[in-house]
Structure 1
Amino acid sequence: MLNRHFSTIGQTTLSILALWLIAYVVSAVYTRFACIADIPGPFWAAYSRFWLSRGYSSGCLWKVYHDVSSRYGTVTRIGPNRVLLSDPEETMRILSSRSRYERGPWYDAFKIEPDRSNIISQRDRPRHLHMRFQMAPGYNGKDIADFEGILEARIADLMDHIHADWVSPADSTIPFDIGKWIRHMTMDTITHLSFGRPIGYVDQDRDVMQFTSVMEELLPVVLHFSLFTELNQILKALGKIDFLKKNLFPHHTHTKGLGVVRRIIKEVIASRPRPTPDSKTDMVNSFLKHGLSATEVEAEMAIGLVAGSDTTSTGLRATLLPIISNPPVYRKLQREIDEAIAEGRVSLPIKDTEARRLPYLQACIQEGLRCHPPLVLARERIVPPEGDVLCGYKLPAGTIVGMNVWTSQRNAVFGKDAEIFRPERWLEASEQQLRSMKKVWSLIFGHGTTKCLGENLALTTMNKVIPELFRRFDMATINPDRPWQSECYGVFFQKDFNIRITVRETS
């Protein structure tokens, strides 16, 4: 009798699985031919999200996006109801403040609390705009006392450590992982700006909060939650149970990662009086002053560290590598910096306003970010109820549209050699072409109501770090064939960017 019982259970289970499989196949085939059927793309992508899942797992998401867009066109089908857009003009239209496109469920994966959205995950447009208004003065530095002075202090700290420990003598080489130390510097900078003191990454030469290692483990998982959005509902339900909430989401009792950030912020807030309307200290003070609750500040500061530190670090690395690897560019940039110092056109350390008046430096930064955008997440939107037409393709309501910023930065507006790092293009262009180039280039930092709040911080940091390095040091890659190890899950994780660094005789 027991055998018959288990046999019946087995047959029932197999029947359910068979019915599910049949339903899935029928649904996939229907979706394949009933929705966006005329949009080209990889064969399997039209039937299943697992094609994109494999791309997410590859560790080179930028290449997956670029290859598929280069092969199939500006609008490419990458899922049963999902397309990838690389046309800059259409991207700007979708992201504009008057667009009827709304943020899709993709954003829900970036919550760090089950019942509260942050500046990244917030999908309600009015609430998102209000949050941006509350946080903008902190992110752009207007509410931070001695904003540029803090950056200078953190950069000087890095330079001192390089001089003390990492300069190679004439007869040997001390490998200097400049990528790791840039990450140390950006973490100290952002924590200093955030809650009034650096966390100590540079002084201790280690991942103090195990922040980087946690992000490297977490982001591939988050990407899959952004694709299989049903998982977010399960996670949200589990988050209603206190014990599970503490273990599944960043909590101030945790000993590493975002939980440590939340604990530090909690301690900072508890130790301070309520901010006054005219007070200017740091980002915590600014957020509180503009109406965020203490709990909201904890979450926003944690997400801000994720959004700001990795992207700024990548922007610096990705600009330094092609300069170091290109002798004519290297010499021209270094000569511009030396002449500006000799002529008294820049201070020591250089000010942001002075750096912005060095044309070749600006061309190198613009070209570095163009060739290697630090963030290649799709930032998906939903086609509005009336449907839309993108690049000649009709899209029904509810279609998911992702943005391919990597390929948009290879647009024809940049010239026939758009795949090549060539800063001169920014100096040779006519006035009209330069306007067009800058318009497309600006997509690196988003557009419209989703424009990156940290753009000023990122560019100011690059404007100050790069001249300081080239003023003081000579640099060369140790392994030109493989200058670094780079993985991309929408955000880049770059390791072993080892260079040989020596003190310049003229410095």
Structure 2
Amino acid sequence: MASVVDVLQQVQHLVKQYPVQIVVVLVVTNLLWNKFQPGLVSIPGPTAAAYTKLWRVYSVWRGSAHLDAVNLHKKHGNLVRIAPNHVSVADPKWIPIFYSTKEDYTKTGFYPIQSISWKKNPEMNLFSTRDPEYHRIEKRKVGNAYALPRLLESEEAIDSCINLFMSRLDEFASQSKAVDLGAWLQYFAFDVVGEFTFASKLGFLEQGQDVDGMMKAIEGMLIYASLCGQVPELHPLLLGNPLFAKLMPAMETWNQVLVFTLKAINNRASIKRDGELINADSEGRDMLSRWAYVKSSNPDKMSTRDIVVHLSTNVFAGSDTTAIALRAIIYFLCHHPQCMQKLVQEIDDAEHSGQLSHPISYKEATDMPYLYGVLKESMRLHPSVGLLMERHVPAQGVEIDGHFLKAGTIVGINPWVTNHNAEVFPDPEQFRPERWVEASEQQLKVMDNLWELNFGGGARKCIGRNISWIEMMKVIPELFRQYTVELTDSKKGWHVVNHWFTQQEGVICNLRRRK
């Protein structure tokens, strides 16, 4: 009987004699295993997707994954296999299951890629962590600061951003110059995040440009995260390589988001070399002030590390999704002038009856039902998130439509798919704000359950969603109260690229002051 040594020697001999053939056999075997996994083999989808993740990488690289998802579900139905171990689900009944508060379905390796390093240690934030208990602990520390009543305590600061925004737009209107309103809406969103987070604008509106290349830097980070997130096992070999952290300077010296955050903190406080936050103004209503006060009164509840991680997350994620929604609102209204006229009439009626402040308050805006419908419908038709919200099937597995998916299979729902559900939203491709105004209470509840997935679900719902909603409810009616807005070329569509967020370009507008 051959010994283990003899077998190893024979294998070594074969490898030397037939290296190419052996590699081919291993690759083919892996591809066939991917394809014929039990429970997955009968789920329809692109042919290549069943064999390799490269199909999905290519879809994300093209920036069209959101449209690919909608079209694939139209073709194949409720379940689509979009990678060897990934299943996209369209049926809305799975939303409360995949994204429950119990977090039975845990986040995948896609998420930790979107985190920072602090003092050369990886630091998970509320979005990137896969650990439900860690998420609960961190959310308890900061969650209260994102509550709607707390945020509205800073409404005057938002008003100052709106006033500055309108004055900058007036420079274009007075000279009859076209304006890239899409870019300026993001400048506005950044400065509002600055007020909520640091009690100061971040300079985007004042300078009228991408301050310190922040927008470009975040775009680059999202491209890496979205592409590498399809093959997260490569991240430890790339930017997540431990050697990278050792050989490179600390992230707080070169990462634009972290550098920008620390600069904003240092305008109000001091961070010593040992990482200790001192001399912080603890009297304000912004998040830095609130958390600095907690830290000074009870260091066990909040550390400098906690403050840096949560504030940098605001800077990273606080403007893109809001700006995408604002661009969608403008774009769809400009392409549907009858809807724009209805909204303007609603604003004018409130104005003439003396119901509006200057700028319009959040409470006043909540009394405008058509405004509510416009915002909801714009975000339904163009969600900010454009990839699968991935989750792992738990230990017991799950059966969906007769297919048993074993533990570890990656499932999820893309908001673009559920937001285009024809049973819930008849004529789903049509921009029709009236559907939100005319719906019965029961219909509205069903629609809202799908629409809410724009912000995630369950315990992992976006903690900053109230910030976005306040901004939109205030700035949109104020914009149409003061200006007539039209696209410079209504026949030319915008350009959309999906790298996790469905960013648009081409919302170039002409503005005219209304009498």
**Residues 30-69 of structure 1 aligned to structure 2 (within 5 Å):** 30-35=33-38, 36-69=40-73
**Residues 81-100 of structure 1 aligned to structure 2 (within 5 Å):** 81-100=85-104
Cα drift, residue 308 of structure 1? 1.6
Q: 2:439 aligns with which of 416, 429, 436?
A: 429
Moved more, 15-24 or 485-494: 15-24
**Residues 408-423 of structure 1 aligned to structure 2 (within 5 Å):** 408-423=418-433
Q: Which residue of 1 aligns with 2:9?
A: none
In the alignment, is residue 286 of structure 1 matched against residue 290 of structure 2? yes
Cα drift, residue 353 of structure 1? 1.5
Q: Which residue of 2 aligns with 1:3?
A: none
Structure 1 residues 237 and 254: alpha-carbon distance in aligned structure 2, compared to 1, 3 A threshold: closer
In the alignment, is residue 456 of structure 1 matched against residue 462 of structure 2? no
Moved more, 429-438 or 332-341: 429-438
Structure 1 residues 233 and 492: alpha-carbon distance in aligned structure 2, compared to 1, 3 A threshold: same
Q: Which residue of 2 aligns with 1:337?
A: 347
Cα drift, residue 186 of structure 1? 0.7
Q: Which residue of 2 aligns with 1:128?
A: 135
* Aligned partner letter, 1:151: I
In the alignment, is residue 158 of structure 1 matched against residue 165 of structure 2? yes
- SS of equivalent residue, structure 1 residue 84: strand
Q: 2:231 aligns with which of 221, 228, 233?
A: 228
Q: Which residue of 2 aligns with 1:219?
A: 222
Structure 1 residues 300 and 234: alpha-carbon distance in aligned structure 2, compared to 1, 3 A threshold: farther
In the alignment, is residue 137 of structure 1 matched against residue 147 of structure 2? no
Cα drift, residue 15 of structure 1? 4.9
Deviation per residue, 1:144-193 (Å, 9 max, x gap):
68411111110110001111x11056xxx411110011011111111222
Q: CA RMSD in A?
A: 2.4
**Residues 86-485 of structure 1 aligned to structure 2 (within 5 Å):** 86-113=90-117, 115-140=122-147, 143=150, 146-163=153-170, 165-167=171-173, 173-235=176-238, 238-239=241-242, 242-246=245-249, 251-254=251-254, 256-265=256-265, 268-270=268-270, 273=279, 279-288=283-292, 289=294, 291-485=301-495
Aligned residues: 487
- SS of equivalent residue, structure 2 residue 264: helix
- SS of equivalent residue, structure 1 residue 380: strand
Moved more, 45-54 or 338-347: 338-347
* Aligned partner letter, 2:65: L
Structure 1 residues 275 and 89: alpha-carbon distance in aligned structure 2, compared to 1, 3 A threshold: farther
- SS of equivalent residue, structure 2 residue 128: coil
Q: Which residue of 2 aligns with 1:23?
A: 26
Structure 1 residue runs without a partner (length 5+): 1-10
Q: Distance in 1 between matches of 2:101 and 2:462?
A: 14
Cα drift, residue 415 of structure 1? 3.6
Deviation per residue, 1:439-497 (Å, 9 max, x gap):
22111111110111111111110010111011000011111122433211111332331
Q: Distance in 1 between matches of 2:387 and 2:343?
A: 31
- SS of equivalent residue, structure 1 residue 486: strand
Residue pair 1:323, 1:330 contacting (<8 A) in 2 also: yes
Residue pair 1:108, 1:121 contacting (<8 A) in 2 also: yes
Q: Distance in 1 between matches of 2:416 and 2:151?
A: 32
Deviation per residue, 1:64-115 (Å, 9 max, x gap):
2222222222221001111112222202221011352111111121122253
Q: Distance in 2 between matches of 1:300 and 1:284?
A: 10
Q: Distance in 2 between matches of 1:236 and 1:214?
A: 15
Residue pair 2:485, 2:510 contacting (<8 A) in 1 also: yes
* Aligned partner letter, 1:202: L
TM-score (norm 1): 0.90
Residue pair 2:257, 2:316 contacting (<8 A) in 1 also: no
Q: Distance in 2 between matches of 1:332 and 1:412?
A: 25
Residue pair 2:383, 2:502 contacting (<8 A) in 1 also: no
Structure 1 residues 19 and 116: alpha-carbon distance in aligned structure 2, compared to 1, 3 A threshold: farther
Moved more, 322-331 or 252-261: 252-261
Cα drift, residue 245 of structure 1? 4.2
**Residues 5-16 of structure 1 aligned to structure 2 (within 5 Å):** 15-16=18-19
- SS of equivalent residue, structure 1 residue 487: strand
Residue pair 1:379, 1:402 contacting (<8 A) in 2 also: yes
Deviation per residue, 1:349-385 (Å, 9 max, x gap):
1111211111111011111111111112322110011
Deviation per residue, 1:287-344 (Å, 9 max, x gap):
4427332233223222222222000001111111111221111111100000011112
Q: Distance in 2 between matches of 1:18 and 1:292?
A: 58
Q: 1:498 aligns with which of 499, 504, 508?
A: 508
Moved more, 297-306 or 356-365: 297-306
TM-score (norm 2): 0.89
Cα drift, residue 240 of structure 1? 5.4
Residue pair 1:139, 1:454 contacting (<8 A) in 2 also: yes
Q: Which residue of 2 aligns with 1:486?
A: 496
Structure 1 residues 398 and 331: alpha-carbon distance in aligned structure 2, compared to 1, 3 A threshold: same
Runs of 4+ in 1 over 6 A off after TM superposition: 11-14
- SS of equivalent residue, structure 2 residue 177: coil
Cα drift, residue 26 of structure 1? 0.6
Q: Distance in 1 between matches of 2:267 and 2:243?
A: 25
Q: Which residue of 1 aligns with 2:10?
A: none
Residue pair 1:135, 1:286 contacting (<8 A) in 2 also: no
Q: Distance in 2 between matches of 1:217 and 1:15?
A: 42
Deviation per residue, 1:233-272 (Å, 9 max, x gap):
334763356553437xxx2322844433334335644175
Structure 1 residues 98 and 238: alpha-carbon distance in aligned structure 2, compared to 1, 3 A threshold: closer
Residue pair 2:178, 2:508 contacting (<8 A) in 1 also: yes
Moved more, 210-219 or 120-129: 210-219
Q: Distance in 1 between matches of 2:428 and 2:389?
A: 24
Q: Distance in 2 between matches of 1:75 and 1:492?
A: 23
